[in-house]
Amino acid sequence: MNQALLFENLHFAYTPDSEVLRGITLGLTRSERVALIGANGAGKSTLLLHANGLLTPSRGRVIVEGQALTPHTLASIRRQVGLVFQNPDDQLFMPIVEEDVGFGPANMRLPHEQVAERVEQALRAVNALDLRHRSTHQLSGGEKRRVAIATVLAMEPSIMVMDEPSAGLDPRSRRELITLLGTLNHTLLIATHDLDLARRLCHRTVIIQAGRVAADSATVQLLNNKRLMRRCGL
């Protein structure tokens, strides 16, 4: 099958008494853009953290480009799947912006000029080139968000999994982000409360409710289904 990313019957619990993911199956074909929506606490972030092995399911599998995620494939899958965290502070850890964006490529042992090129391209893409020499910890929330996205772009993953990428962005940065994501060829899975972003970018939307897939269909159709949206706490 032409699946780029497949979650197969995923179960997960942070604590033994309450299961957060309760049998999620969800596949994305190559270059597909899918929005993941659902009420607070539904399990969206938890699901995304499974995409590159930051969490390990108690049952079920994650399959990336036909390869099951195991300790053995973890490193190669992390190069294929870029994850943008819900909180940019979880993503950024180097003191200076350009060091942070260049960290991944440098770690892949790319030559210095290529690292510099990727840093510039990635920062330019998120309209943050002017921030390159700034201290990461002194950025505003929206600036951090854009730099966090750049750190992932710089890795040139084929699949991008993004958790609330438009949260905290001003209207112009948000529009530019939507335009940018619309030009990417990546397979994209985007957890979001920004239904307008879902509508603009993703032909398909999946609703997660209490750790299960409650709906999976065309975005327009799903967002117009007021009764379904209300039933799912949206």
Ligand X SMILES: Nc1ncnc2c1ncn2[C@@H]1O[C@H](COP(=O)(O)OP(=O)(O)OP(=O)(O)O)[C@@H](O)[C@H]1O
Q: Which residues bind ligand X (CB under 6 A)?
A: 14, 20, 38, 40-46, 86
- List the single partner that 142 binds among ligand X, Mg ion, none, CB under 5 to 8 Å by kind: none
Measured between alpha carbons, how far is 109 from 93 in angstroms, rounded to an integer?
Answer: 19
Q: Output the smallest distance, CB 105 to ligand X, in A.
A: 29
- List the single partner that 118 binds among ligand X, Mg ion, none, CB under 5 to 8 Å by kind: none
Q: Output the smallest distance, CB 107 to Mg ion, in A.
A: 27
Structural tokens at position 156: 């040139």
Q: Output the smallest distance, CB 41 to Mg ion, in A.
A: 8
Give the DSSP H or E segment for 44: helix 44-48
Q: Output the smallest distance, CB 173 to ligand X, in A.
A: 20
Tell which residue, 203, 175, 179, has the closest CA to residue 189: 203
Residue 216: Cβ-neighbour burial (10 angstroms; 0-12, 13-18, 19+): middle
- List the single partner that 62 binds among Mg ion, ligand X, none, CB under 5 to 8 Å by kind: none
Which residues in this chain contact Mg ion in the complex, by CB under 5 A?
44-45, 86
90 versus 130: smaller Cβ distance to ligand X: 90
Structural tokens at position 151: 């750190």
26 versus 119: smaller Cβ distance to Mg ion: 26
Close Cβ partners of 59 (under 8 Å, ≥ 6 residues apart): 9, 10, 11, 23
Q: How many other C-beta atoms are found inside a 10 Å radius of the C-beta of residue 21?
A: 25
226 three-class SS? helix
Residues in the chain: 234
36 versus 115: smaller Cβ distance to Mg ion: 36
- List the single partner that 46 binds among Mg ion, ligand X, none, CB under 5 to 8 Å by kind: ligand X
Amino acid identity, residue 29? T
Q: Output the smallest distance, CB 127 to ligand X, in A.
A: 25
Amino acid identity, residue 45? S
- List the single partner that 187 binds among Mg ion, ligand X, none, CB under 5 to 8 Å by kind: none
48 versus 155: smaller Cβ distance to ligand X: 48
43 versus 102: smaller Cβ distance to ligand X: 43
